[in-house]
Amino acid sequence: MQKKLLLSLVLALGILSGILVGAIAGRVWLAPETSIRSVVSSQTILTALRDQGFLVTQTYLFDQPVVINKTTGNPFKDFFVGQTVEARGTMEANLGLDLSKLTTDDITVSDDQILVRIPPPSLFNTRLVGPIEVRNTQGLLKKLFGPDDGYNLALEELTRASTAAAAKPEILKNAQDKSVKEISRLVELLTKESGKSVKVEVK
């Protein structure tokens, strides 16, 4: 009699345990997809993007000669005080986005989409890559009393020329396309568990 009772108790406990395990597993495995998605807010996205500071998305190299004429227009005077600098060097221009300027108004999170509005790309910096070849011609008096090797003039003009080249519409358009792709990639990585699509627009 006792053996039958004990067997019944063991069997009942086994069935109860199976039901409990099945219920827990069912809640985990069969839960609706929306209940296990990560919670995403505009503030969390904004913080993550702002932490990037200025994000360089496109780099260009410019290698072009420049000529600086410091002349008076009078050949006689230029013989004494004129100066001509011919220079060539490789300049690097970096363009991208200043993400520190984003606000919560630039990020909209809806049920199925994350919309990020970014500013147009801008120039971050230009810098010299490698040496500068300088050919410097100075007037007689300038050479004697105010010599100038032309290096600073050359670097200044190369920087100006590369900055102007980086502002060309086709270069800015390419930098903009790269910026949209990079921000899309970053936001998708950040929100991949949310199940939301990501759209990036330029303001």
Question: Any idea which of 91-100, 104-113, 144-153 has the lowest mean pLDDT?
Answer: 144-153
The whole-number pLDDT of residue 68 equals 81
Residue 126's nearest CA partner among 199, 186, 64, 47 is: 64
Task: Name the least confident of 5-9, 67-71, 89-93, 191-195.
Answer: 5-9
The per-residue b/e assignment along 22-59, b for 16 or more CB within 10 angstroms, e otherwise, is: eeeeeeeeeeeeeeeeeebebeebbeebeebeebbbbe
Give the count of beta carbons closer than 10 Å to the beta carbon of residue 132: 16
* More reliable by pLDDT, 72 or 132: 132
> How far apart (Å, rounded) are the C-alpha atoms in residues 141 and 81?
6
Q: pTM to 2 decimals?
A: 0.69
Average pLDDT (158-185) is 96
Q: What percent of the chain has pLDDT over 90?
A: 56
Mean model confidence pLDDT for the chain: 81
Least confident segment among 37-41, 151-155, 157-161, 165-169: 37-41
- How high is the pLDDT of residue 70? 78
How far apart CA 141 and CA 145 sit, in angstroms, is 6
Which three-class secondary structure state does DSSP give residue 87?
strand
Provide the 3-class DSSP secondary structure of residue 90: strand
Cα separation, 129 vs 148, in Å, equals 22
- Which residues have CB under 8 Å from 143's CB, separation 6+? none
Token pair 């899309």 in the structure block, residue: 184
Burial class of 196 by CB neighbour count within 10 A (0 to 12, 13 to 18, 19+): buried
**Half-sphere exposure for 31 (CA within 13 Å, toward CB):** 10
Between residues 164 and 64, the one the model is more confident about: 164
